[in-house]
Chain A
Amino acid sequence: MNFKHKYIFLFPGLFVLIGILIFPIIFVVRLSLSGWNSYNGLNFIGLENYIRLFTDDPRFWESFFRLSFLSVTTVFLQYVIGFALAHMVWKDIKFQRFFRVLFLIPMMTTPVIMTVIWRTFFHESLGPVNDILSNFGMSPKWLTDPTLAKITVIIVEVWQWTPFMFLLLLAGLLSLPKEPFLAAAIDGASPIRKFIYVTFPLMAPISIGAIIIRLIEASKIMDTVYVLTSGGPGTSTETSSFYIFIKGLREFQMGYAASMSFTYLIIMIISLTVIAKVLTKLLLKD
């Protein structure tokens, strides 16, 4: 077989890659240089959309910083809880298999449907949460207080996606070598010292991978916000993706939404690369 035949075999993959990745990105860039909306077609307006975004749209930047806060907080909580749960069922405990499956259930449910159920839970006049809390004289405004609404979004995100973190970390724990633990046991290390000096450092590479994967996902928080609060009250839970959705598919400012999407993509690539480097330096220093 001629060596050049390999390119023929590469072609289907390349074709798909061009079709589903390269072409959409090029199209988004082209769209971002147009004023395409309900009354204009795919014209060319140069960098007008980008100028508007950087000089006259504080709402985009507010939603971006809100998103950063929400994603960092939710991923941190998911990591801590996921690690704790994984650590728990890593050990030989009763009903180990049952718990392993149980902890995965939230991830197997459909996010939009679960968010509708959460919204019903937190409904301030009809929901069971306030029904119970009212017995203790409390009726928090889960969805209508700007601060509490953010916490509600965090609760739902953490509930939904901690199992993903749990799954990755459990797989990591199960693949750890036994020798360092045996050595630590012989040295008489306490469980806490074992965790700090053996388990955690050995888990660092998989932790970094898990955190980065979740940060990429969390930076797209949209369905939870859409169903739970519609970005409200006011704009207090509006995230970048939800804002782009409003501008693009609600107001039909396709050109402007494309410029926001592209800017957002660049920011995310840069910031996630930096975060990955920082985490690697911090956790893998030895």
Chain B
Amino acid sequence: MAYADKWSDQFPHIKATGDIAGDCSYEKISKKNYKGKTLKINTHAVPVIGQPTALHAEQFAKLTGAKVDVTHTPAGDLYAKAMVPFKAGQAPYDIVFGFSNFINDWRQYLAPVPKKYINTVEMKDVTKSHVGVSSWDGTMYQYPVDGDRHYLKYRKDVIDNPEMQKKYKADTGKELKVPTTWKEYGEMAKYFNGWDWDGDGEKEYGSAEVMKKDDLMFAAFFSRSVAYAKNPRTPGGFFFDLETMKPNINNPGFVEALTDWVEATKYVPPGGINFGLGDEIGSFGGGQTLFSFSWDDAFIAAMQDDSPIKNKVGTAPLPGADKVWNRVSGKWENKYNQAPYIVWGWAVGVAKKSKVQEMAFDYLCFFSNGANHQADLAIGNFGVNPFKNSDFDPQLYINTMGWDADIANSYTKTLKDMEKSKNRVFPLRVRGVFEFTSAVATGTSKALAGQLSPQEALDEVAKEWEAIVSRVGMKNVQEDYAVGVKMEDNKL
């Protein structure tokens, strides 16, 4: 513990844990000498992932003598910022951050993670699903730094409050409880919309969601769709029918989800249909709404020491539905269905053409070493979420972050259950993935704005998807998609 104290004195970021022994700990990295060398990184804008990138770059530079240049880029431009030079045969950045679903387009330009790093103590702690997420055909191209899933966040002080439960029952005849279906979610959100239910003198609202076009809204839509459209009894593709590559996106399951989402525009805060991820984090984390669902960040923000609602929030799996679409029989099945959406999250790779590959991998290994990772997890807007087995220990959150035991337990249970689920949905990872997700964003945003009905909007998306498949080549998309389907069908 003596050396741990030494490092935490110099680097206050890890004051809660000190250095944690490992292959890329502060102690180990301090032995490297990269004086005179420069590492160039392109990352996301501050704060989400951009801030930890810059912070760890500064620490890395101090420890190794390297010069680290960090460029910050808005989320929507991360793909192109790396892809344009990749296509032109250049490598202006040694390290490029992006989303994990870029893997198929980027992998030919990235250096595979060397064995040396795959065998580190830190990497051995990464969950099996996140090793899979970072790999393609058994080769790891992306260095795991984040692990994302969508789940439900709710105001525990309202949902578990006996007075509120009584009032809700009296007014609606229904039980106030953690919603297990999207219909219940909508009913409760509508009831708690537009009045001051926490007595802070401000109006509160039902739900904060990412609804802004082109700002990850496609992921929010898929979170709402999985309950209605991911049927465990019809393997072979959630987004497409793997055999025919016909899009499923406009089947009644997805349409039902979009219909719910259009309804949700009535219980989001004013301006909510223009909320990006940052707005959602600020809104729920700031105590403005009863519910939220998406990545961990809003929940972690709510649980930070400076939050007005620390220890007043809870987590649960994404709501399900009382019916699920069977795309084989073409009929609804009136059975309860719930499916986790593993959104994977931030990913990072080292350019194949980088001349400082070893330093780049050392930086990434240092980024996610035990001490940095645990400290990053505690900061909501850092965008670093659990992806290591050790992250699922509730004591981590109780001891180092001051969470109430029942909240820490339900949080880790929610995450662990998702890892164990056999009905998961993974994001699309096919060539030209951005064309597909952009089409979803455009179509669904037209429905949210009332320009088209849900069915019309999704028919438009399906038509666009068919055109993209035809441009990319059906065989190509099918080959790529098969890898994801294998994971969804639990065959990997």
Contact A139–B270 (Cβ < 8 Å): yes
- Interface residue? A46 (CB, 8 A): no
Q: Which of A136-166 contact B (CB under 8 A)?
A: 139, 141-144, 146
Contact A246–B438 (Cβ < 8 Å): yes
Contact A232–B274 (Cβ < 8 Å): yes
- Interface residue? B449 (CB, 8 A): yes
Q: Which of B263-319 contact A (CB under 8 A)?
A: 269-274, 288
Contact A232–B449 (Cβ < 8 Å): yes
Minimal Cβ-Cβ distance residue in A for B444: A234
Contact A141–B271 (Cβ < 8 Å): yes
Q: A125-B269, A144-B273, A234-B449 are in contact. Are A39 and B79 (CB under 8 A)?
A: no
Contact A125–B270 (Cβ < 8 Å): yes
Contact B271–A123 (Cβ < 8 Å): yes
Majority secondary structure, A binding face: loop
- Interface residue? B129 (CB, 8 A): no
Q: A125-B269, A236-B449 are in contact. Are A231 and B274 (CB under 8 A)?
A: no
Mark interface residues in B438-455 (1 if CB within 8 Å of A CB, else 0).
100010011111111000
The count of chain A contact residues (Cβ–Cβ below 8 Å) is: 35
Chain B residues within an 8 Å CB radius of A127:
271
- Interface residue? B235 (CB, 8 A): no
Q: Which of A17-76 contact B (CB under 8 A)?
A: 35-39, 41, 56, 59
* Contact with B79, one of A36, A123, A232, A250 (Cβ below 8 angstroms): A250
Chain A residues within an 8 Å CB radius of B77:
249-250
* Contact with A38, one of B83, B272, B445, B446 (Cβ below 8 angstroms): B83
Q: A38-B83, A233-B445, A234-B213 are in contact. Are A124 and B434 (CB under 8 A)?
A: no
- Interface residue? A230 (CB, 8 A): yes
Mark interface residues in B237-270 (1 if CB within 8 Å of A CB, else 0).
0000000000000000000000000000000011
Majority secondary structure, B binding face: helix
Chain B residues within an 8 Å CB radius of A249:
77, 80
* Contact with A233, one of B431, B449, B471, B476 (Cβ below 8 angstroms): B449
- Interface residue? B44 (CB, 8 A): no
Q: How far is the CA of A253 from the CA of B464 in the complex (A)?
A: 14
Q: How far is the CA of A232 from the CA of B441 in the complex (A)?
A: 10
Contact B213–A39 (Cβ < 8 Å): no
Chain A residues within an 8 Å CB radius of B114:
none
| A45 CB, nearest partner CB in chain B, Å | 10
Mark interface residues in B316-350 (1 if CB within 8 Å of A CB, else 0).
00000000000000000000000000000000000
Q: Which of A225-240 contact B (CB under 8 A)?
A: 229-236
Which residues of B are interface residues toward A (Cβ below 8 A)? Answer: 76-77, 79-80, 83, 87, 105, 212-215, 269-274, 288, 431-432, 434-435, 438, 442, 445-452, 467, 471-472, 476
28 contacts between A and B (CB under 8 A): A36-B87, A37-B432, A38-B434, A39-B432, A39-B476, A59-B442, A130-B270, A139-B270, A143-B274, A144-B271, A146-B449, A146-B450, A146-B451, A230-B274, A231-B214, A232-B213, A232-B273, A232-B449, A233-B213, A233-B273, A233-B448, A234-B213, A234-B446, A234-B451, A250-B79, A251-B434, A252-B83, A252-B432
